[in-house]
Amino acid sequence: MADTSLRNAVGYRNNNGGMATVLIVEDEEQVRVLAESYLREQGHVTRSAATKEQALAVLEVAKVDLLFVDVGLYDDRQVGLDLAKEAVERLPELKVLYTTGQPVTDGMKALFVGKSALLPKPYTVEQLQAVLAIRFGFKPVNVPTTPSVPT
């Protein structure tokens, strides 16, 4: 059996609470770093990439449960859509969460892969958490507990 730390290092899923390994593909560094920080706080493993090529390289070497991709990488809407399609062709069980700050037409939605959802920008951490939990079943594992009040 493989060493647990090695499996976790490459994104092995922890079945004890919904943790996911998320590949964030975002060309805006600040947005990418904030998404990574939030997802890590929630107990998820993150990988990140700024380009389609970087993302495909990560998918070659790491187990990923969810591709969180900006539709309009470098202002080209087709890049994010193409990345998602190619990633799912390689990894059919991969789930995809699209994000964009641009209007999304029905024609564009028709190009989304199966097992996907859309989170429009700007989004809050609460909206991201809700989509992950409701649409994909990835629930945070590091949720602060509220102290109980004695009755």
- Residue 7 resides in a domain: no
Q: Please give the helix or strand (H or E) that residue 69 lies within, else none.
A: strand 66-70
**pLDDT confidence tier of residue 143, bands split at 50, 70 and 90:** low
Q: Which domain holds residue 105?
A: 16-136
- Residue 141 resides in a domain: no
Whole-model pTM: value is: 0.82
**pLDDT confidence tier of residue 139, bands split at 50, 70 and 90:** confident
Alpha-carbon gap, residue 95 to 113, rounded angstroms: 9
What is the count of structural domains for the chain?
1
- Residue 31 resides in a domain: yes
pLDDT tens-place string over residues 29-59: 999 999 999 999 999 999 999 999 999 999 9
pLDDT tens-place string over residues 88-101: 999 999 999 999 99
State mean pLDDT over 137-150.
62
- Residue 147 resides in a domain: no
pLDDT tens-place string over residues 115-132: 999 999 999 999 999 999
pLDDT for residue 146 is more than 50 = no
- Residue 144 resides in a domain: no
pLDDT for residue 148 is more than 50 = no
- Residue 5 resides in a domain: no
Q: Where are the alpha helices (DSSP H) in 14-142?
A: 29-41, 52-61, 77-90, 106-109, 125-136
- Residue 10 resides in a domain: no
CATH number for 84:
3.40.50.2300
- Residue 151 resides in a domain: no
Contacts of 30 by beta carbon, 8 Å cutoff, 6+ apart: none
